[in-house]
Amino acid sequence: MKFILVLKVCYALVQFCGPPIESSIIYDSWYECGVAGYNHAAKILETLPREQVNGTKTFVKFQCFEKLEGLTPSNKIEKDA
């Protein structure tokens, strides 16, 4: 089973999340995808100005999707919305 990581940068102050960011890496396990999600989320926050993160209460949420034939994570997100 393979997994795809999808992240969204969100702003708690205005209750808004940006568009999904789909990783180009295919992970071999749920564990690898989850660890990568936390690492990517930390890197994203570290690239933003501290004042912006504090002012907008920025956070990153992520999901790991099972890679299914003919269904991309972006399509799944739209179907689930």
How far apart CA 61 and CA 65 sit, in angstroms, is: 13
The better pLDDT of the pair 63, 73 is held by 63
Contact 18, 56 (CB under 8 A): no
d(CA 47, CA 26) in angstroms, rounded, equals 24
> What are the extents of the domains in the chain?
3-80
Top pLDDT among 39 and 80 is at: 39
Average pLDDT, whole number, for the chain?
A: 89
d(CA 21, CA 49): 20
The tens digit of pLDDT for each residue in 44-68 reads 999 999 999 999 999 999 999 998 8
pTM, whole model, 2 decimals? 0.78
pLDDT value for 74: 56
pLDDT of residue 9: 98
Over residues 5-24, the pLDDT tens digits come to 999 999 999 999 999 999 99
CA distance 77 to 81: 6
Burial call 23-36: b when 16+ CB within 10 Å, e when fewer: beeebeeeebbbeb
